[in-house]
Each structure stands twice: as structure tokens, then as C-alpha cells.
Amino acid sequence: MTRPSGRLAYCTLALLAQVAAGAGLLAEAPFSRYHRDQDRKAVAIQPKNIPAPDTEGRVSLTERQAVEMAIVNNFDVNLQRNTVLSERWRIDQLRGLYDPLTTMQFSWNRTKTPTGSILEGGPSLTNVVTSLSSTYSQAWRTGTSIEATFTGSRNRSTNSFSSLVPAMNAQFEILVRQSLLEGFGKVGQEYQIEIARNSSDSSEQEFKRQATELIVQVQDSYWELEFLDRDVAVKEKSLQLAETVLAQNRSRYEAGTAARLEMVQAEAEAALREDELLRSRYNRRLVADGLIQLITNLEDPRQFPGNLAPADPVTSPPEVTETFSELREKALVARPEVEQSKLEISSQKTSLDLTRDRLRPSLDLVAGYQQYGLGGTLINRDYSQGFINPPIISVVPGGFGDALDQMFGADYYGYMLGLQLQIPIFNREARAENAQAQIALDQATMREQSVRQLIATQLRDALTRIEMNRASFRATEAAVRSARERMSAEQARFDAGMATTREIIEAQRDLLLAETTALRSQIDLIKSHALLDRAIGRTFERFNIRLADALEVNVR
């Protein structure tokens, strides 16, 4: 048996090309992908620089600075960033179905068996079989899959009837499968990938929603802290007035021009106002700690390097000039909840399409082609004297190259074509999945309607609060002017000895209440505009925050 060197070289190159195709993944990327952790982006919180305290130990922050610090440092928002990263990897995970797969198998098997007939080639047979196979498989989104397999084996046998010892076998097979009903044109994995994309987009919108809620909390705490700062200042001034009245009454009592009851009333009022001041300072500390927790990642709010103080002036927001309908239309475009509900509907429609595809029977067209080769050392024996231990006449050297030469020469080949049909008799599982998918789509549609209703309610509530707080602020401004005039008049009468302690105390209380109420109305007006921004979905726009940029904060 001869082996043409040129043809053998061609066969060898063809074999190497097939093996290289099967091991394509190893050639394309470092082998480390199979034993090391995946390189990934991760969220690493880096504390934002906190402004240094001033000479009085205060750390003054504007509202914008507080919001920016919260977007960087808040743990809940950073956790959602991790969720976004994880959802993006989910898409790659599902795409893995289309990754090529290479399988290699090697085996060595030695057997020695007794024989019961001289026609079996000897009193006992020893076979040593060495085999190697390599398979390359891949699937596509159209419902098509391919599998190419190369198999080579070497068989050494003591059978006297064996002409090739060792015998070399080579076989190449390619098998193509195409779905004709279920999975035709779009396999189930494609539906899952589409759903995963929607989930990834939804996680980004969830980040925006959570970040918006965080910003609103920061705004609420920020302006509440401003109110309490002003409230503390008002109560400090009120305490000073009460102490002044107490000192005056004590002097008058000692001089015999005032009754002891007036001095006792002044002492009680001073003590009451001191208690109110202490409570206000305590509330301020609680609000400051809460704000620090929102905008930093400090374990203990008291680690904050100074006394947190708002730096923005208290000003009344402008009038709302847009109508409810105009604001609602903007909200239906900008609110993340609306986008999430649309993505959910899209995912449920995709799931429904998937269940419709699975209702179909499975019908696959299978086509295959094989090529075979056989080679090895040819042993010619003389059987004229009998079949027991026939003498060897000649030995023609051969090897695996002969088998490859035959295989790639296409002298020995085979074809295969067939259909594989699988019909579930009752199809209950697929029908139930289809019904559940329809119900889930109905639920998603209802949730979208619920979101629209919620947005309209929140928008109405915000507009009502703005209207109420603006009217309240205007009314309290007039009350403050009236209380101040009355206080001035009562103070003058008290200094002239014409007013009692009770009258001056009541005037001071009225002024304190009017100033506190006015400040509360103004702060509530500012907060209600923050609620309006949230209801419209323009909180990010209000602070010039881009979603794409916010998602990449701390991601490295």
C-alpha cells in the first residue's frame, strides 16, 4: 500500500484545520478564562471630599453639593449600580448558547477474551484499541445547529484473520439540524435575550427612580435643617426676651413696684422657652445626622468633620405657570416608572410569543454526511495449509496516513437525511404556560394604568401642596407683621409700667408662633416644589444629572 506524499500532506493540513476550528476558543483568547475570575467592572465607593469646616466649625453645603455627595456615597444607590452591572452580564450569559463548543475524548482499552472456535482467529484474542475523537458544535438563533466530528482509532489484535495489524480507522461526520416548527427562525434563547435586555434597561430606570427618591429625601432633610437652624435662632432670641423680662420683673419686685406673681410668671416663661430651645436643638441634631447618613458613607454621623449647615438662602420658588395636563404629559415621558411599565409590557409580550412558539410540535430536519478511511500495516498470510497459525507471506507497511488519505479522498462516504417529529399528545404544559403568559401581560397592562393613575395623583397632590403652602406663607407674612407691631406696642407699654407681665409674654409668644409658622410655610413651599419635580420626573434635570453619567459613578 503506497502513501502519496502530496496527498498525505493535504490530508494532514485538513485534519489540523478541523482540530483548529474545534479549538477556536483557545486560540482567540488567553487560556486564563477557564480558571480565573472574570475581569469585570465593579462599584468601588470613594468618599467625596467634604468641604473643610470654617473657623466656627461649620461645614456649609449648598443643596446641589448635598445632592451630588448623595449620588456618589449613598449605599442604596450604589447597591442598585451593582444590580445594573449584574443585569448586563445576564445578557452575555444567555448569549453563551451560541458559543462554539469543542469536545475532545481519548480512550485506551485492552481486552483479552477466550474463543470457542478456530474461526475466531486463535485460542484467545487480545485487542488493544486506542481512540481519539474531536467534536465541534455550534447553534444559531435561526434554529440551526451544526456538529462536526472527527474520529480516529488504532486497533491491534492477535486475531489471525486480521489483515491490518494495527488497523487505523478515520471517520469525519458533519450533522446539520434545522427546526421547522418550534424554534423555526427564532429559538427560545432569543426571546430570553430580549427579555434580559428589557430587564437591564428596567434596572437602569430603577436606579433613576431610587436616585430620585434619594434626592427628594436629601432635599427634605436639607430644608428641614434650614428650618431648624432658623427655628433655633428664633427661640434663642425668644429666650433672650424672656430673660430680659425676668430681669426687669426681678428688679421691679426688689424695688417693690411689681408683685411676686409677675416675677414667678416670668421665671416660668423663661424656663419654658429654654426647654423649647433645647428640644429644637435636639431635633436639629437628629435631622443633621439623618442628612449626613444620606450623603456620606460614614459609619457614624458624628464622624462628620464639623457642624453641617445649609448654605443656600431661603427664597420662595416661582409660580407654577404650566397646566395640569401639560405637566402630566411631561411626567408620562420622563418618569422612570412609566418606562419600567413599558419595558415590562414588552417583556410579557415577548414571553407570550415564546409560549406560542412552544405550542408547536417539534419537527427537525436532520442532514448528515460522512467520510471513512482505513489504513495500517497489511499482513498477507498463507491459508493454504489451514487456518491455524497461517504463516506470514509478506508485510506491507502502512499507518494512519493511509486512513486519512482514504477519508479525505472521499472514496468511502455516506449521506443521511431525515425528519424527527415530537408531538406532545395533550400539550398541557405549553398550553398552561401560554395562558399564564396572557394573564401576565394583562397584569402588566393594568400596572401601567396604575402607574399613570399614581402619577396623576402625585401631581395633583404636589400642585395642591404648592397652592396651600403659598397661600399659607402669604397669610403668615401678614401675621408676622401684625405680631411685631403688637410686640413693639406691648414692650413700650411694659417699659412705661402700663402692661402686665402676662401681656408682654403673650405678645412675645404670638410673635414667636407667627415667625415659626411663616418660616414653616416657606420651607414647606420649597419642599412641595421638590415633590412637584419628582411627580413630573424632572428631578435629574433640576440638578443637571444625566442618567448615563450617574450610572458610571464609582464604576471601575
In a domain, 453, yes or no: yes
Residue 388 exposed, middle or buried by CB count within 10 Å (0-12, 13-18, 19+): exposed
Give the number of other Cβ atoms within 10 Å of residue 467's Cβ.
13
pLDDT at 419 over 90: yes
> DSSP labels for 135-182?
EEEEE-TTSEEEEEEEEEEEEEE--TT-SEEEEEEEEEEEEEEEESST
Residue 328 CA to residue 81 CA, distance in Å, equals 29
Q: 238: domain range?
A: 189-351+431-550
383-407 pLDDT tens trace: 777 666 777 888 888 888 888 888 8
pLDDT at 3 (0 to 100)? 42
In a domain, 285, yes or no: yes
Average pLDDT over residues 8-21: 46
102-139 pLDDT tens trace: 999 999 999 999 987 777 777 888 999 999 999 999 99
Joined grid coordinates for residue 152: 480516529
- How big is the CA angle at 62 (ends 56 and 67), to the nearest 5 degrees? 125
170-206 pLDDT tens trace: 999 999 999 999 999 899 999 999 999 999 999 999 9
Claim to verify: residue 411 and residue 444 sit in the same structural domain = no
In the chain, how many domains are there?
2
Nearest CA among 26, 22, 66, 23 for reference residue 48: 66
In a domain, 73, yes or no: no
Give helix 324-334 / helix 336-358 axis angle, nearest 10°. 50
Residue 274 CA to residue 276 CA, distance in Å, equals 5
423-480 pLDDT tens trace: 999 999 999 999 999 999 999 999 999 999 999 999 999 999 999 999 999 998 888 8
pLDDT at 50 (0 to 100)? 80
Could you tell me the CATH number of the domain that includes residue 451? 1.20.1600.10
Give the number of other Cβ atoms within 10 Å of residue 172's Cβ.
22
Q: Write down which residue in 422, 449, 470 finishes a domain.
A: 422
Claim to verify: residue 397 and residue 435 sit in the same structural domain = no
Q: Cβ distance 254 to 227 under 8 Å?
A: no
Claim to verify: residue 250 and residue 319 sit in the same structural domain = yes
